[in-house]
Structure 1
Amino acid sequence: MKKNVLIIGAGGVAQVVAHKCAQNNDVLGDIHIASRTLSKCETILDSVREKQSMKTEGVLQAHQVDATDSAAVARLINETGAQIVINVGSPFVNMSVLDACIETGAAYIDTAIHEEPDKICETPPWYANYEWKKRDLCAEKEVTAILGAGFDPGVVNAFARFAIDEFMDEVKSIDIVDINAGSHGKYFATNFDPEINFREFTGTVYSWQEGAWQENAMFEVGREWDLPVVGKQTAYMSGHDEVHSLAANYPHADVRFWMGFGEHYINVFTVLKSIGLLSEQPVITAEGQEVVPLKVVKACLPDPASLAPNYTGKTCIGDLVKGVKDGKEVEVFVYNVADHKDAYEEVGSQGISYTAGVPPVAAAMLIAMGEWDAKAMKNVEELDPKPFFTVLDRIGLPTRVRDESGDRAWNA
């Protein structure tokens, strides 16, 4: 049984992870959190103590580390005795943290694909550019590495696997739909790191259709969805991590990702992009200073964590999976609904951070208990989804199913 967790990162998602690890420290043991800025880690741990999240008495400690320095991360893993690393730092540090885990033998979990700061939207499948290159080494050294174990990617990958295994002989399509029907009350803000948020939407929209990669522009393809609780919402086909692993594991299915956007977001985004303010490439100001426009925009926007106190409304994220069962066409929607206010009251974060932060803790618990200790690199759809759903149900993100038989809990 693996125990003792090291959390990398100190943003809104890391806050959720810290609270949830504390609530389950009877399974996860000592809890350590590290980032470049020690004070941010200490603020998160203060929140954990204030809300009395620790289930049992135990270690709760903050550390400073440059997560781009793989050797420094490895030293910290060894110093803390951590056997599970939950990486919710910037996607720019994925490979250095993964390398530290391979060196030390600690299990690795992340919630998003690796990115390089000066590159956007690389050649698909994205995982093959970085993480999958370490797959053989993880297997050789028997290191468990679970990629993309947030909500999307993550839980939605498990939704797809579950729908296919339980309801189909053959899968035809997987449409992942992410709707945030909440309101934060700001003129304009992003729900997570603005730099990462905008990078998702400035490149090519890749989808897997008819056995090949298809390319579209952002906001080119949209449609209305009628979903549980949040009702009718417009979502646009977007590029996203999980498409790239699901396409590899289900190559005969069309795989698409859809995200909800309001007209106001689209208008502001379009203006920022059109005048070059979303570029990741540096420019020289009239005063001779070199700046990256995207980083300037990030500095001017609200910190996503600051949105939490006034956030209202709900999210609905799920998979509409279509296929064939006993010669007949079937479709099933597997989904979760989360509430922004409930998330804030429990862990001091908004619902987007909550949905991203709870699943990697569930994954860590399954590694600790041995059920997901794969001793190899895996994307979430390559693991049994039922234990995952069971833990998620218990710690805050229940899974539901809607099909021709009605709307019900996944295990009803």
Structure 2
Amino acid sequence: MKKNVLIIGAGGVAQVVAHKCAQNNDILGDLHIASRTKSKCDAIIESVREKGAMKVAGTFEAHQVNARDTAAVADLIRKTGAQIVINVGSAFVNMYVLDACIETGAAYIDTAIHEEPDKICETPPWYANYEWKKRDLCTEKGVTAILGAGFDPGVVNAFARFAIDQMDEVKSIDIVDINAGSHGKYFATNFDPEINFREFTGTVYYWEDQQWKETSMFASGHKWDLPVVGPSQAYQSGHDEVHSLATNYPQADVRFWMGFGDHYINVFTVLKNLGLLSEQPVKTAEGLEVVPLKVVKAVLPDPASLAPNYTGKTCIGDLVKGTKDGKDVEYFVYNVADHKEAYEEVGSQGISYTAGVPPVAAAILVAQGEWDAKTMKNVEELDPKPFFTQLDRIGLPTRVLVGGLKGEDKAWTEI
């Protein structure tokens, strides 16, 4: 059994994590949150207090730390007595925080793959470039490290595992992420603009015919008719979970699809064509060195600021096709979330909510021993059923449709 949680990061997702940890502090114990800017952590704790989120009286403290300083993070883990670290900081800090957990023995949970600031869309599989290099060390030291435990990656990996467990053979996994909400701004991204744009400016890798294939952003589109949100246009995108699922289920085609409207595509295309989405530094006429992508991030709305006026719903799920008893079968495993409901509960919009609830569910399972693997795991390598139970209990219920393949007509049954 593990107790006491340290949250790394202080953005919109961290706010959700903080509220959900507070709502479950009878299980998780003392709570701590740290980032470079302590005042942001203080504000999150204040929002927890304002909403009376602490289930039982207990500790919730803020700290300042540079998460790219492994020694400093390790010192903070020891100081706080944290046995579980939930890393929802920038994707640039993963390896530093992971190393601190390996050094101290704390369990490590993150929600996205590690990235280096000057590199985009490296050679697949992406996890092999960074996190997986530490797997043997985690095993040797008995350290639990759960990778990509947000929604996508994370819950969608569990969706895939659940569907595959019902089949004799899996043929394809298509992950579909549709945000049918509206934030009312001219243009904004739902999470860190820098990370958001980096996903879309590089090569789109997908796994098909048991090999890596490449396309470019917005080159491959499909209209998906999903529950609640209805027909929605989505495009193949490069994404973290494709890389672990392709490794664990190499016989299956694995693709990721994200919904975009024409306005987003138009603005993105202009920014990219002007060179404003580049991660490489340039010099201004005044001799200042700037990174265009960071300038764009600075002028766009903070994703956390979108929450008060966000309306509408999200639908994120996996369409998994395979065979059972010699017959074709398909499962659509999904969740629907509501932006307004998320804001009313935790003060964040729905995208942050879907990303922030799952790592807390994972932390609860680690605390209770069910997911305390004492090695490194991607989510699909763990039993999905207790994960679904916790997700349902703390705000993200799983829904399942099952049916045979009948051309364009699907005989779906909800289970």
Supply the distance in 2 between the matched residues of 1:211 and 1:245 (Cα, whole angstroms). 13
Aligned length: 408
Shift of 1:158: 0.1
The alignment's TM-score, normalised by the length of structure 2, stands at 0.98
8 A Cα contact 1:112 1:241, kept in partner: yes
Shift of 1:403: 2.0
Q: Which amino acid aligns with 1:69?
A: D
Q: What's 1:195 paired with?
A: 194
Matched, 1:377 2:360: no
Supply the distance in 2 between the matched residues of 1:44 and 1:200 (Cα, whole angstroms). 28
Q: Which amino acid aligns with 2:243?
A: H
Shift of 1:406: 4.3
Supply the distance in 2 between the matched residues of 1:59 and 1:144 (Cα, whole angstroms). 24
Q: What's 1:58 paired with?
A: 58
Q: What's 1:147 paired with?
A: 147
Matches within 5 A, 1:270-289: 270-289=269-288
Q: Secondary structure at the match of 2:392?
A: helix
Q: What's 2:133 paired with?
A: 133
Shift of 1:330: 0.6
Q: Secondary structure at the match of 2:108?
A: strand
Q: Which amino acid aligns with 2:8?
A: I
Q: What's 1:46 paired with?
A: 46
Q: Which amino acid aligns with 1:202?
A: T
Q: Which amino acid aligns with 1:97?
A: V
Matched, 1:102 2:102: yes
Supply the distance in 2 between the matched residues of 1:14 and 1:104 (Cα, whole angstroms). 22
1:124-143 deviations in Å (ceiling 9; x for gaps): 00000000000000000000
Gaps of 5+ in 2: 404-410
Supply the distance in 2 between the matched residues of 1:407 and 1:171 (Cα, whole angstroms). 19
1:91-129 deviations in Å (ceiling 9; x for gaps): 100000000000000000000000000000000000000
Matched, 1:305 2:304: yes
Matched, 1:185 2:184: yes
Gaps of 5+ in 1: none
Q: What's 1:324 paired with?
A: 323
1:151-194 deviations in Å (ceiling 9; x for gaps): 0000000000000102x100000000000000000000000000
Matched, 1:21 2:21: yes
Q: Secondary structure at the match of 2:358?
A: helix
Q: What's 1:82 paired with?
A: 82
Shift of 1:147: 0.1
Q: Which amino acid aligns with 1:161?
A: R
Q: What's 1:397 paired with?
A: 396
Q: What's 1:30 paired with?
A: 30
The alignment's TM-score, normalised by the length of structure 1, stands at 0.98
Identity of aligned residues (%): 84
Q: What's 2:338 paired with?
A: 339
Q: What's 2:264 paired with?
A: 265
Shift of 1:407: 4.8
Q: Secondary structure at the match of 1:103?
A: helix
8 A Cα contact 1:400 1:407, kept in partner: no
Q: Which amino acid aligns with 2:124?
A: P
Distance 1:193 1:311, change over 3 A: same
Shift of 1:360: 0.1
